């Protein structure tokens, strides 16, 4: 439990970590999606390739769009790109940095899907079983009266009646899977080598100081937007509270204070009552409450809390006969 909290805290510490976390979660979702997807090769010569390539290409596109959608940097980048200049000059390097960061993160989940399909091999078998030369293997059933192509197309389907449990089917599957896995591992190796090379060579082509600045300002934009949203929410809360209280107090009848016997010392048994009175905001009758609720629905107050924000505060000063100040609120 503590470990989980630590991990969550680490990931929430800055927005880059959050983006990385979400990226990894999306990659895990991609793997889970593949394992739960019930791959169903049609085993017909015309449709095998179409179906397989569809399954290999369409989900990565979906995952890519999802990756772009859930990334916070997308919003920040679009805002920075599209905003009018105003008082703040634009920095295209920041936009480029955000774009490349977003792209790299969004490409992870699709790559994971493609690699998992290649390493698993089902899709390759479905797509390319018709292209295998059957003479390489023994045991091709030739008593069924079907074309060779149709038989080869049925190889991916385990429960098919013609090829059930035959060694021919297993041999062809193994052969194609072998190619598929080789292809998968090569792609993985290529990606890793490219990534390593890019990391090693980048410092020679990059202006490190400029890169630090760009990174700083892109993080700053993200933090600024978050803080702005938070401040807006807090402000809306205060605004709402003041607006509601002002509305309540406007409903109170005019009170004419006759200070002939002002009570400056609180009567002890009714101090709590004074607090309650304050919370009543002067609305103390059933008709007033009804009127208040009615007005709230039919005639909402205008969005202006200047009166309550700047209302005068009563300050009392007590002086004795000689003018000496005994007590003062000022």
Partner 1 sequence: MDKFRMMFQFLQSNQESFMNGICGIMALASAQMYSAFEFNCPCMPEYNYTYGIGLLIIPPIWPTGSRSKDPTILRYMFCSITQRSLIAPAVWVSVTLMDGKSFICAFSVNLDIDRFGNFSIMRGLSEVERIKQLAKIPCKDLVENQEMRVAASRYIKCISQACGWMFLLMMTFTAFMIRAIRPCFTQAAFLKTKYWSHYIDIERKMFDETCKEHAKSFAKVCIHQYFENISGEMRRIHHHHRNDSDDEDEEKKMSDEEKLLGIRAQDDMNKVLWNWHTCKPALALRKDQINGETKGLLNGHVNGIANGFVQGHTHDVEKKEWAVYYSKV
According to the binding rule CB under 8 A, does residue 279 interact with partner 1? yes
Among 198, 262, 298, 302, binds partner 1 (CB under 8 A): 262
Stretch that binds partner 1, among 14-22, 90-98, 157-165, 182-190 (CB under 8 A): 157-165
Which residue lies nearer to partner 1 by CB, 68 or 188? 68
d(CA 287, CA 240): 24
According to the binding rule CB under 8 A, does residue 296 interact with partner 1? yes
Rounding to the nearest 10 degrees, give the CA dihedral for residues 214, 215, 219, 222: 50
According to the binding rule CB under 8 A, does residue 40 interact with partner 1? yes
d(CA 52, CA 73): 33
Among 266, 291, 294, 304, binds partner 1 (CB under 8 A): 266
According to the binding rule CB under 8 A, does residue 61 interact with partner 1? yes
Report the site for partner 1 in 176-195 (rule: CB under 8 A): none
According to the binding rule CB under 8 A, does residue 280 interact with partner 1? yes
Which residue lies nearer to partner 1 by CB, 16 or 160? 160
Instruction: Name the one residue in this structure whose structure tokens are 């309540």.
Output: 248
- Residue 321 host element (H or E): none
According to the binding rule CB under 8 A, does residue 311 interact with partner 1? yes
Which among 149, 118, 146, 124 is positioned nearest to 134, based on CA atoms? 149
According to the binding rule CB under 8 A, does residue 43 interact with partner 1? yes
Cα 94 to chain centroid distance, Å, stands at 21
According to the binding rule CB under 8 A, does residue 299 interact with partner 1? no
In sequence order, the β-bridge partners of residue 325 are 319
DSSP one-letter string for 182-193: HHHHHHHHHHHH
254-273 in b/e form (b: 16+ CB < 10 A) is eeeeeeeeeeeeeeeeeeee
According to the binding rule CB under 8 A, does residue 44 interact with partner 1? yes
According to the binding rule CB under 8 A, does residue 208 interact with partner 1? no
Which residue lies nearer to partner 1 by CB, 181 or 282? 282
Rounding to the nearest 10 degrees, give the CA dihedral for residues 263, 269, 272, 275: -10
According to the binding rule CB under 8 A, does residue 146 interact with partner 1? yes
Among 7, 28, 178, 274, binds partner 1 (CB under 8 A): 274
Stretch that binds partner 1, among 66-74, 114-122, 170-178, 202-210 (CB under 8 A): 66-74
Among 265, 298, 299, 302, binds partner 1 (CB under 8 A): 265
Which residue lies nearer to partner 1 by CB, 68 or 140? 68
Report the site for partner 1 in 209-248 (rule: CB under 8 A): 232-233, 236-237, 239-241, 243-245, 248
d(CA 234, CA 231): 5
Q: What is the DSSP letter of 305?
A: -
What minimum distance in Å lies between the beta carbon of 72 and partner 1?
Answer: 12
Cα 47 to chain centroid distance, Å, stands at 37
Which residue lies nearer to partner 1 by CB, 210 or 226? 226
> Any residues with CB less than 8 A from the CB of 225 and at least 6 apart, and which?
75, 76, 79
d(CA 207, CA 210): 5
According to the binding rule CB under 8 A, does residue 317 interact with partner 1? yes
What minimum distance in Å lies between the beta carbon of 58 and partner 1?
Answer: 5
Among 206, 207, 224, 270, binds partner 1 (CB under 8 A): 270
d(CA 207, CA 93): 12
């Amino acid at each position: 439990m503590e470990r989980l909290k630590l991990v969550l805290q680490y990931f929430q510490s800055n927005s880059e970590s959050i983006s990385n976390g979400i990226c990894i979660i999306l990659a895990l979702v991609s793997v889970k999606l593949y394992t739960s997807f019930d791959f169903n090769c049609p085993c017909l010569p015309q449709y095998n390739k179409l179906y397989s390539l569809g399954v290999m290409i369409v989900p990565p596109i979906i995952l890519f769009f999802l990756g772009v959608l859930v990334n916070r940097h997308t919003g920040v980048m679009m805002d920075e790109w599209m905003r009018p200049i105003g008082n703040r000059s634009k920095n295209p390097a920041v936009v480029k940095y955000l774009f490349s960061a977003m792209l790299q993160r969004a490409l992870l989940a699709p790559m994971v899907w493609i690699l998992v399909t290649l390493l698993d091999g089902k899709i390759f078998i479905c797509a390319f079983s018709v292209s295998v030369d059957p003479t390489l293997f023994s045991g091709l059933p030739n008593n069924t009266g079907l074309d060779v192509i149709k038989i080869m197309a049925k190889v991916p389907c385990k429960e098919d009646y013609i090829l059930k449990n035959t060694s021919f089917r297993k041999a062809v599957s193994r052969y194609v899977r072998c190619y598929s896995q080789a292809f998968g591992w090569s792609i993985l190796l290529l990606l890793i080598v490219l990534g390593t090379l890019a990391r090693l060579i980048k410092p020679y082509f990059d202006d490190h100081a400029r890169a630090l600045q760009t990174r700083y300002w892109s993080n700053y934009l993200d933090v600024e937007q978050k803080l702005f949203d938070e401040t807006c929410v807090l402000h809306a809360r205060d605004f709402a509270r003041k607006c509601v209280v002002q509305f309540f107090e406007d409903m109170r009848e005019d009170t004419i204070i006759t200070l002939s016997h002002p009570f400056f010392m609180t009567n002890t048994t009714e101090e709590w009552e004074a607090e309650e009175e304050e919370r009543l905001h002067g609305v103390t009758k059933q008709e007033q409450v009804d009127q208040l609720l009615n007005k709230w629905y039919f005639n909402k107050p205008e969005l202006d809390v200047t009166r309550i924000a700047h209302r005068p505060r009563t300050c009392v000063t007590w002086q004795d006969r000689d003018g000496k100040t005994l007590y003062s609120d000022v």
